[in-house]
């Protein structure tokens, strides 16, 4: 079982990704795709007159402040345009893909965090009305039904809270929770960089290998959103996933390239 998480950053080639996934799927590989949609969400949010608001937690993680209007825009883009765009590409390539958000069948479930701490001008503020959370439970039964009957699941945030409220969750950590729940041998996180860079943004500074026992000590190389990927990788390998690969989604055959060891391998 391979879990492929593809981001939503600029430069990602979804056509090349879907061609590669279709070829692997037809060769008998069991695959699940998890995707993001951050860049397109920012664009649509601006166009709708509700620009994104990013906050930095006291521990240095960046996230999107998600009020009710933002989660609705988020759903339009993630569950609508991005999810259906990927499903359509796969259908054209002869793969019976099924697109689901974490809300559908509670594929991804977790606790709703209504307030969040944000550092602004050196001061910590408490912001209320946030629709965010972290995936704690995965509906492996529903995923199993799809996989056992020849469908390729295409999954996306938001998740469902325990009360059934849509919550924005980090896609990388959702994919890590899914890979852990399904005991996947490989989790890959594809984005618009070659992998984890020692000296970001210098693409010649790729870190090729990170020992599973020592992921935490590489955290320092990751800035802003890359931190969540490294955190997700640490959670996945600690949870029994065989290996995590950070790979490039701007190239032809991105999944096959990562499978052959291109990128940053955590094992
Ligand atoms: P996606 O939405 O594609 O999952 P993110 O934007 O969440 O991707 O995270 C990937 C981004 O992290 C890269 O585009 C890059 O700008 C940033 N980044 C920060 N530090 C690093 C690093 N050390 N190596 C690679 N990318 C990094």
To test ligand 1's pocket by mutation, which of 225, 230, 231, 250 has the most ligand atoms within 8 angstroms of CB? 225
Question: Which residue ranges have their beta carbon within 6 Å of ligand 1?
Answer: 7-9, 36, 38, 191-193, 196-197, 200, 221-226
**Of all helices (H) and strands (E), which one includes residue 119?**
strand 116-120
Which residue in the block uniquely carries the two structure tokens 């910590």?
124
CA atoms within 13 A on the CB side of 130: 23
Smallest Cα–Cα separation from 254: which of 1, 91, 21?
21
Residue whose entry in the numeric block shows the structure tokens 């069991």: 30
Atom of ligand 1 lying closest to residue 8 CA: 2
CA-proximal residue: ligand 1, atom 17 (nearest): 226
* Atom number of ligand 1 nearest to Cα 171: 4
Q: What SS3 class is residue 140?
A: helix
Cα separation, 233 vs 191, in Å, equals 14
Q: How far is the CA of 116 from the centre of ligand 1 (A)?
A: 23
Q: For residue 219, with 0-12 CB atoms within 10 Å meaning exposed, 13-18 middle and 19 or more buried, which class applies?
A: middle
Tell me how far apart the alpha carbons of residues 179 and 245 are, in angstroms, rounded to a whole number: 12
User: Residue 105 Cα, ligand 1 centroid: separation in angstroms?
Assistant: 30
CA of 68 to the centre of ligand 1 (A): 26
Q: How far is the CA of 133 from the centre of ligand 1 (A)?
A: 21
ipTM of the complex: 0.93
pLDDT tens digit at each of 267 positions of the chain? 999 999 999 999 999 999 999 999 999 999 999 999 999 999 999 999 999 999 999 988 888 899 999 999 999 999 999 999 999 999 999 999 999 999 999 999 999 999 999 999 999 999 999 999 999 999 999 999 999 999 999 999 999 999 999 999 999 999 999 999 999 999 999 999 999 999 999 999 999 999 999 999 999 999 888 999 999 999 999 999 999 999 999 999 999 999 999 999 999
Q: What is the 8-class DSSP label of residue 197?
A: B
Q: Name the residue of 40, 200, 254 to mutate for ligand 1: max ligand atoms within 8 A of Cβ.
A: 200
Tokens in use for 170? 């980090």
Q: Give the CATH number of domain 2-266.
A: 3.40.1160.10
């Amino acid at each position: 079982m391979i879990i492929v998480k593809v981001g939503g950053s600029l430069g990602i080639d979804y056509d090349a990704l879907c061609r590669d996934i279709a070829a692997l799927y037809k060769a008998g590989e069991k695959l699940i795709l998890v995707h993001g949609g951050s860049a397109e969400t920012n664009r649509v949010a601006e166009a709708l007159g509700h620009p994104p608001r990013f906050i930095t937690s006291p521990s240095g993680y960046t996230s999107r402040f998600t009020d009710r209007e933002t989660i609705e825009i988020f759903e339009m883009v993630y569950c609508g345009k991005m999810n259906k765009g990927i499903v359509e590409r796969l259908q054209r390539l002869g793969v019976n893909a099924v697109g689901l958000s974490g809300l559908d069948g509670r594929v991804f479930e977790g606790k709703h965090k209504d307030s969040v701490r944000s550092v602004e001008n050196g001061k910590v503020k408490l912001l209320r009305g946030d629709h965010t959370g972290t995936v704690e439970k995965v509906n492996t039964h529903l995923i199993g039904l799809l996989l056992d009957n020849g469908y390729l699941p295409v999954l996306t945030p938001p998740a469902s809270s325990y009360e059934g409220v849509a919550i924005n969750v980090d896609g990388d950590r959702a994919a890590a929770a899914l890979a852990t729940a399904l005991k996947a041998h490989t989790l890959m996180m594809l984005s618009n960089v070659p992998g984890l860079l020692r000296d970001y943004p210098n693409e010649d500074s790729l870190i090729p290998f990170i020992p599973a026992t020592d992921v935490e000590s590489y955290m320092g190389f990751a800035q802003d959103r890359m931190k969540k990927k490294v955190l997700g990788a640490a959670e996945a390998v600690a949870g029994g996933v065989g290996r995590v690969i950070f790979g490039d989604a701007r190239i032809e055959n991105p999944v096959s390239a990562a499978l052959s060891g291109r990128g940053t391998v955590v094992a």
